[in-house]
Amino acid sequence: MYKTIVVHVDDSAGMEARLRAAANLANLHGAHLVGSAATGTSWSSYALLVGSMAVTPIEEFDAMCVEARTSLRHFAEAARRLGVESVEERLTEDEHRRALLLQSRYADLVVTSQDTGARTGAYERVRGLPQYVAMHGARPVLVVPQAYGGKPMGEHVVVGWDGSLPAVRAIQAALPLLVRAASVRLALVNVDDESGLHGEEPGADMALYLARHGVPVEVVLEKTNAAPGQALADIAQAGHAGLIVAGAFGHSRYRELVLGGVTRYLVERSPLPVLLAH
């Protein structure tokens, strides 16, 4: 079960959907919900940056702290309105990626928005937040699209399976949801391209592993010319799924960033929440 969930807090457009998803999971698992906000820089770094300018650094930095605390207060009020009983606010004087990575050490799950490059407060434009936390942290990341309206995530789930270690870790991280699901589709896209990872009967061994945990699993073999990330999203939407589970950067990160890949597609364009682990 997820007993501690950390959600990235700011005043960007994706905050409402992100909180709604985190609150749904917190209520389902009886979890403690932690809001993690950041100033965007440390005091020492900010003072060094603007010390030679015609401003008073402490006043400017205090304004950044006030903005972050205001976002945290709004988060806590909204979380309680959504029924979350155990809520905590944490402010870190640091860059957003490092701050969230620090808080993730003490949680079971981290919740962020999709990587759109949207402004987070008045001081910084954050890019690559979910990828960074998934790659460098020890916890899974739930990536929530801005259009998420509160649909239950755990009833019908699509799991992307390519035989990679990140996919194994994502499945393990998602087990608290998978064992509660009404249906789980283990999706293998273009298995001939990765035949060495799947054995004689692609998907059979992982399906058996999941079945032994009580997961109602079905193997889906998809042959398509679409990109794997798009194929997973299409399978999920066709099956009215509320969640996609996938490994983050199963191939080299350079290949995914340059040529595109499953991770890049899902963190930027998935129409429904995605649980990632690396």
* Cβ-based neighbours of 189, under 8 Å, separated by 6 or more: 160, 162, 222, 224, 228, 231, 232
H/E stretch holding 88: strand 87-92
One domain for residues 161 and 79? no
**Beta strand 141-144 pairing with 274-277:** antiparallel
Per the CB < 8 A criterion, the answer to whether 204 and 219 are in contact is: yes
Q: What pLDDT, on the 0 to 100 scale, is given for residue 51?
A: 58
What is each CA distance from 81 to 33, 77, 78, 86, in whole angstroms? 13, 6, 5, 12
Residue 151 within a domain? no
Domain boundary among 81, 116, 144: 144
- Residues of the chain where predicted confidence (pLDDT) is lower than 70: 42-59, 117-126, 193-197, 199, 250-260
DSSP state of 256: H
Per the CB < 8 A criterion, the answer to whether 106 and 138 are in contact is: no
Q: What pLDDT, on the 0 to 100 scale, is given for residue 247?
A: 96
One domain for residues 132 and 257? no
Q: What CATH number is attached to the domain comprising 113?
A: 3.40.50.620
Q: What pLDDT, on the 0 to 100 scale, is given for residue 244?
A: 98
DSSP state of 130: H
Q: What pLDDT, on the 0 to 100 scale, is given for residue 79?
A: 98
Q: Alpha-carbon torsion 48, 54, 58, 62, what sign? A: negative
Express each pLDDT in 177-188 by its tens digit.
Answer: 999 999 999 999
Q: What pLDDT, on the 0 to 100 scale, is given for residue 255?
A: 45
Express each pLDDT in 105-136 by its tens digit.
Answer: 999 999 999 987 554 444 445 678 999 999 99
Size of the chain in residues: 278
* Cβ-based neighbours of 10, under 8 Å, separated by 6 or more: 37, 68, 71, 96, 120, 121
Q: Determine the 3-state secondary structure of 143 from DSSP.
A: strand
Per the CB < 8 A criterion, the answer to whether 135 and 249 are in contact is: yes
Q: What pLDDT, on the 0 to 100 scale, is given for residue 254?
A: 45
One domain for residues 17 and 105? yes
Q: What pLDDT, on the 0 to 100 scale, is given for residue 117?
A: 56
Q: What pLDDT, on the 0 to 100 scale, is given for residue 200?
A: 77
Residue 106 within a domain? yes
Q: What pLDDT, on the 0 to 100 scale, is given for residue 192?
A: 76
Q: How many domains does the chain have?
A: 2
Residue 149 within a domain? no
Domain boundary among 144, 174, 189: 144
Q: What pLDDT, on the 0 to 100 scale, is given for residue 134?
A: 94
* Cβ-based neighbours of 258, under 8 Å, separated by 6 or more: none
* Cβ-based neighbours of 254, under 8 Å, separated by 6 or more: none
175 CB neighbour count, 10 Å cutoff = 15
Domain, as residue range, for 190: 156-276
One domain for residues 44 and 92? yes
Q: What pLDDT, on the 0 to 100 scale, is given for residue 194?
A: 60
